[in-house]
Amino acid sequence: SQQGEEDPQALSIQEGENATMNCSYKTSINNLQWYRQNSGRGLVHLILIRSNEREKHSGRLRVTLDTSKKSSSLLITASRAADTASYFCATDAGWIQGAQKLVFGQGTRLTINP
Amino acid sequence: KAGVTQTPRYLIKTRGQQVTLSCSPISGHRSVSWYQQTPGQGLQFLFEYFSETQRNKGNFPGRFSGRQFSNSRSEMNVSTLELGDSALYLCASSKTRDPAGLTEAFFGQGTRLTVV
C-alpha cells in the first residue's frame, strides 16, 4: 500500500511559472525524499529532508516538511520545459534492522507548456 | 562517478519462464534495494540487501527472490512468470545508513520486463 498521497495528480503550467506539489503521508517518518521520473525511466534523486528539518533548498527547488501535519511540499521556481516529468515523494517507513525501505506516493505528473 | 547500472534495459519473456535482472550499485554503496513499478500499483518495495544479507522484504510472493554478491552487485530473480509481473524494475543503491537517518537512494534506469 502507498504511504503517501500526492496532490495534484496532474499539473500543467506555463514555462516560467512556479509549480507546487504536495505530499501527505500516514505514519511517522525519519526522512522524506523527492524524486523526478521522465517517461518511465529511472528515478532521479532531487532532495532529502530529515524529520527535524522544516525547509531545504537546492537550486530552483524548495522543499518544506511539516511533521505535525504529516505533509511536505515541493516548489519548483521559474519552471522550464525540461522540468516536465513525474514527481514522487518517498518516505523512510521504518528502522527495521537498519534496512532502507522507501514508500512512494503515486506521483504528480507535471507538464510545462512553452 | 558511475551511477547505478541495471541490465538488461528491456526483456520480453513468456509466461512460466524465469528471469534474472542485474544491478551494479554506485562504487562504495553497500545497500541495494529493488522496486517494482506498475501503472496500477505504483512503486512498491521488493527487498533490500546489505553486505550480502537481505535485511528487509516487501509483500511479494516467494517467486521473487534476490541476492547480493561480495562486490555489492545484486541480482533479482522472478520464477514462473505471470502476466502481472510485467513492470519496470528499479534498483537503488545507497551508503550505509548514517546515525542521523536515511541516506539518499540513487536509482538506475530500470529494466522494463514484458511478460507475454
pLDDT digits (tens, 9 = 90+) for A62-102: 999 999 999 999 999 999 999 999 999 998 865 555 667 88
Identity of the highest mean pLDDT range in A4-8, A46-50, B99-103:
A46-50
Residues of A near B (Cβ–Cβ under 8 Å) read 2, 30-31, 33, 35, 40-45, 48, 50-51, 88, 90, 92, 96-107
The strand pairing partners of A10, in sequence order, are: A109
Our CA-based measurement puts residue A32 at a distance from the nearest CA of chain B, in whole angstroms, of: 9
Cell of A72: 511536505
Give the pLDDT score at A31: 86
Would you report the helix, strand and coil content of chain A in percent, each value rounded to 5? 5, 55, 40
Place of cell 514508500: A103
Positions of chain B with pLDDT lower than 50, given as ranges: none
- Asked whether residue A110 carries a pLDDT value surpassing 60, the answer given is yes
Shortest distance, CA B16 to any CA of chain A (angstroms): 25
Q: Which residues contact B28 (CB under 8 A, 6 or more apart)?
A: B95
Q: How high is the pLDDT of residue A29? A: 83
Q: Is the pLDDT at A108 greater than 90, yes or no?
A: yes
Helix (H, G, I), strand (E, B) or coil at B63: coil
**Please, which residues 40-69 of chain B have a Cβ atom closer than 8 Å to chain A?**
42-45, 48, 50, 55-56, 58
Whether A88 contacts A37, CB under 8 Å: yes
The answer on pLDDT for A13 being more than 70 is yes
Per-residue model confidence (pLDDT) at position B102: 59
Residue A1 — very low, low, confident or very high, per pLDDT cuts 50/70/90? very low
Q: What is the per-residue pLDDT for A97?
A: 53
Overall average pLDDT of the A24-36 stretch: 89
B contact test, residue of A100, A108, A109 with most B CBs within 10 A: A100
Confidence at residue B35, expressed as pLDDT on a 0 to 100 scale: 96
* Phi, psi torsion values for B114, nearest 5 degrees: -120, 125
